[in-house]
Amino acid sequence: MDEKLLTLKKWIDESDNIVFFGGAGVSTESGIPDFRSTDGLYSQKYKYPPETIVSHTFLTRRTEEFFEFYKEKMVAPALAARPNAAHLKLAEWEKAGKLKAVITQNIDGLHQAAGSKEVLELHGTIMKNYCDRCGKKFPVEYVTESAGVPKCECGGTVRPDVVLYEEGLDMGVMERAINYISNADVLIIGGTSLVVYPAAGLIRYYRGNKLVLLNLSETSQDSNADLVIHAKLGEVLSQL
């Protein structure tokens, strides 16, 4: 085991207050493309840039096209995916009382599927859906089984409880995330390009000296980290 991995293993073994902050790179080893890698969702060719499609304006103005993209490119891959070694290891550390929370930008529900209990979903989840008129709640199956735009019997549109571009994050979730990060002994950041705010800005609340960055590519925060490993997250965590 190389020296960096030995250091990481030591920090993990000695801590009972680990917090994990992750992004789409946590789920690529489960077969869900991320957004900004070369084979990511945002590099694929569409009529409009994907960031335009997964926006509030697009949902309200081009609802049919929104749901066509959302069901095919965001829901289907997530429902077909299974937790990978990274999800499973994080759930194991929580069960052992070592990890306090997973804070994720992902909407695929894979951390919960792996057994993690304290999961803060900054950008929401595809599993929760609600009528934009009466607020009635619907499971993800209702969305996948509806042809075209999922409608509520009241006439409203059933939309995902996902934070789209132009929409705000849940402040309650943000406050809890800040609390976990500011009290964390070890903060592990994994599988995220750290380019989308306010999520990426949360890491400035970390006050410890064990900031670990596990990411395939370089990020703007590499120089601020105490330990950086550019490798596949699942492969790294499964060695610990």
Which is nearest to 207 in space by CA: 181, 226, 175? 181
Per-residue x/- track, 146-185, ligand APR (CB under 6 A): ----------------------------------------
Which H/E stretch holds residue 132? none
Q: CB under 6 A: which stretch of 33-41, 69-77, 109-117, 128-136 binds ligand APR?
A: 33-41
Per-residue x/- track, 201-230, ligand APR (CB under 6 A): --------------xxx-------------
The answer to the question of residue 233 lying near ligand APR (CB under 6 A) is yes
The answer to the question of residue 128 lying near ligand APR (CB under 6 A) is no
Shortest CB 152 distance to ligand APR, Å: 25
Shortest CB 107 distance to ligand APR, Å: 7
Which is nearest to 234 in space by CA: 117, 83, 123? 83
Indicate the residue among 75 and 152 with the shorter CB distance to ligand APR: 75
Alpha helices in the chain (DSSP H): 3-14, 50-53, 56-61, 63-69, 76-80, 85-95, 110-113, 140-145, 171-183, 233-237
Size of the site for ligand APR (CB under 6 A): 22
Interface residue with ligand APR, options 11, 20, 21, 25 (CB under 6 A) = 25
For the beta carbon of residue 221, count every other beta carbon within 10 angstroms. 18
The answer to the question of residue 124 lying near ligand APR (CB under 6 A) is no
Please confirm, yes or no, whether 87 is among the known catalytic residues: no
Indicate the residue among 98 and 232 with the shorter CB distance to ligand APR: 232
Which is nearest to 208 in space by CA: 226, 223, 228? 226
The answer to the question of residue 71 lying near ligand APR (CB under 6 A) is no
Which residue reads 């049919």 in tokens? 64
Q: Tell me the one-letter amino acid at 43.
A: S
The answer to the question of residue 77 lying near ligand APR (CB under 6 A) is no
The answer to the question of residue 116 lying near ligand APR (CB under 6 A) is no
Cβ 125 vs Cβ 64: under 8 Å = no
Residue-wise DSSP of 39-62: TSGGGS--SS-HHHHTBHHHHHHS
Cβ 111 vs Cβ 84: under 8 Å = no
Indicate the residue among 152 and 215 with the shorter CB distance to ligand APR: 215
Interface residue with ligand APR, options 18, 21, 28, 189 (CB under 6 A) = 28
Cβ 156 vs Cβ 131: under 8 Å = yes
Q: Tell me the one-letter amino acid at 158.
A: V
Residues forming contacts to ligand APR in the complex (CB under 6 A) are 23-25, 28-29, 34-37, 40, 105, 123, 191-193, 195-196, 215-217, 232-233
As annotated, the active-site residues are 123
